[in-house]
Chains A and B, each alone.
Chain A
Amino acid sequence: MFVKNQCLGFVSFLIFWEICHLLLNTHTVPSPLETLAYMLTVPGKLALHCGASMLRVLAAIGISLIIGVPAGMLLGVNETCKKLLSPFLYFIYPMPKIAFLPVFMLLFGLGNTSKIILMIWIIIFQMILSVRDGVEQILPVHFKVMNSFCATSGQRYRYLIFPAILPQIFSGLRISIGITLASLFFAENYAATYGIGYYILSAWTKMNYVEMFGGILAIGFLGIILFDLLDSLERFSAPWLKKNAAER
């Protein structure tokens, strides 16, 4: 059913695209069929570019999780940390992070490190804030229950705080995937040989719009793969969320 819905959604998108192509009648918007046919002629090349981007995205999301989840938890449970660090987060959060690109290039060079750090910089604050809010939403009676059983600090994190914030972690991850995929275009537009962002930009400069749209479609497919992976992970690690949704 889920796969059927996804196929239906994709076909509707292709129909909309075809209508735009016919209405605009310009070579900058190629036909979807032409684009798909082109993509089938260069599967290896596209896979290589997608693979490079996927590794960067996964590295950025993984590192953001490793730093962002504990930092968000700390802010959620420790009032002093929250008071000290929240103003800094609110200050940084709305800034256009992409503007820091030259700083990262200068500090971390032109290789993968600066690209991954840029993506981390873009998503980590949102991750920290979601986790912090998740901790704050835990009901006081749940903390009281753990207190009444004389739970240690570690047990409180394992049995209460971590499972309670899992929904926020997953929604944070969904947003992060979308943002990191979109930011690939910037992160991979310098000193890159492989990467779907680089692929799109290179096609753009060559004015090869079929190839460019092929790259854009490939990012879309990457999104589908990552979101599906995340949904499976969520079903496995937080099965009660699925049951809640089914009840609604």
Chain B
Amino acid sequence: MKKEFILMEQVSFSFGRQQVLKKVCLSLEQGISYALIGKSGSGKTTILNLIAGFLKPDEGTVSINGTRVLGPRKETAFLFQELGLFPWQTVEEAVAMPLKLRGGKQEAKEAVYHLLEKLGLEKYGNKYPQELSGGEQQRVALARTLIGGPDIILMDEPTSALDAATKEELQGVIREEQQRRGTTLFFVTHDVEEAMWLGQYVLILKEDGEVEQIENPYYFNKDAREQLGFYEECIKLRQLLKMEKEG
């Protein structure tokens, strides 16, 4: 029997007078990767912020593993669209920070270099973010997200600012790390192809708060991007989104 790990029940949320979410229900399993798509302004990022504990719902509840989310939790990591790397921290310092914040100074250096090596960043330990390319910065932010061994990774349009080649490279790293670690991944994207490549399930957030869940048959297929069927699925998904936009 499937057990929900992240659960949103009848969640409503407003920014002032503007209602963003209306009675949204969502149930996500542990260790699975979910992509959330929907039209602009439908409240996708708000859902991420509610799960992260940055926002509190006006109505309804958000819970993780049976515990109600009342604020940020240490086991949930967030990869921000703007990355949020500090200009004063070297790559090594940035990636070590989550461990240091938990008081684990001794094991930090070894763990950091192990992860940097995995993400192809070992040469950049002493560099500052502003000395790196966009793709390298994105990988540093990903390393900082992964270092603490989170059980949930939330990502807000993780590759939206990248060129096509760098985007593909980073998507590969995210996909590999998620599958290897078995972390629950929940991300928001505008890119249907990215949703199909990184999400085991694609969730479509509808206007009325309903969430449609579609299983991605190509998720475990490493060569999906070489196959026509993958792109046919993307087209179907785009059409679904278009229909949703047109009401």
Tell whether B86 is near chain A: CB-to-CB under 8 Å.
Answer: yes
Tell whether B146 is near chain A: CB-to-CB under 8 Å.
Answer: no
With A and B bound together, what is the CA distance between A243 and B131 in angstroms? 8
Q: Tell me the minimal C-beta distance from B166 to chain A in angstroms.
A: 20
Residues A141 and B82 in contact, CB atoms below 8 Å apart = yes
> Quick one: CB contact mask for A138-171 with B, threshold 8 Å, 1 for yes?
0101101101111100010001100110100000
User: How many residues of A sit at the interface, in one of the four size bands?
Assistant: 20 to 34
Residues A247 and B98 in contact, CB atoms below 8 Å apart = no
Q: Tell me the minimal C-beta distance from B242 to chain A in angstroms.
A: 31
Partner of B88 from A139, A148, A149, A238 at Cβ < 8 Å: A238
Count of chain B residues with Cβ under 8 Å from any Cβ of A? 24
Residues A240 and B72 in contact, CB atoms below 8 Å apart = no
Q: Tell me the minimal C-beta distance from B95 to chain A in angstroms.
A: 12
The chain A residue sitting closest to B83, CB to CB, is: A141
Known: A149-B97, A155-B101. A247 touches B130 (CB 8 A): yes
Tell whether A26 is near chain B: CB-to-CB under 8 Å.
Answer: no
- Residues 97-141 of B contacting A (Cβ, < 8 Å): 97-98, 101, 128, 130-131
One of B36-44, B58-66, B73-81, B230-238 contacting the partner:
B73-81
The chain A residue sitting closest to B127, CB to CB, is: A243
Interface of A is mostly: helix
Residues A149 and B98 in contact, CB atoms below 8 Å apart = yes
Q: Tell me the minimal C-beta distance from A158 to chain B in angstroms.
A: 10
The chain A residue sitting closest to B129, CB to CB, is: A240
Known: A243-B128, A244-B130. A139 touches B73 (CB 8 A): no
The chain B residue sitting closest to A138, CB to CB, is: B86
Tell whether B52 is near chain A: CB-to-CB under 8 Å.
Answer: yes
Q: Tell me the minimal C-beta distance from B133 to chain A in angstroms.
A: 13
With A and B bound together, what is the CA distance between A159 and B98 in angstroms? 11
Report B's interface with A, CB cutoff 8 A.
52, 54, 71-74, 76-78, 80, 82-84, 86-89, 97-98, 101, 128, 130-131, 148
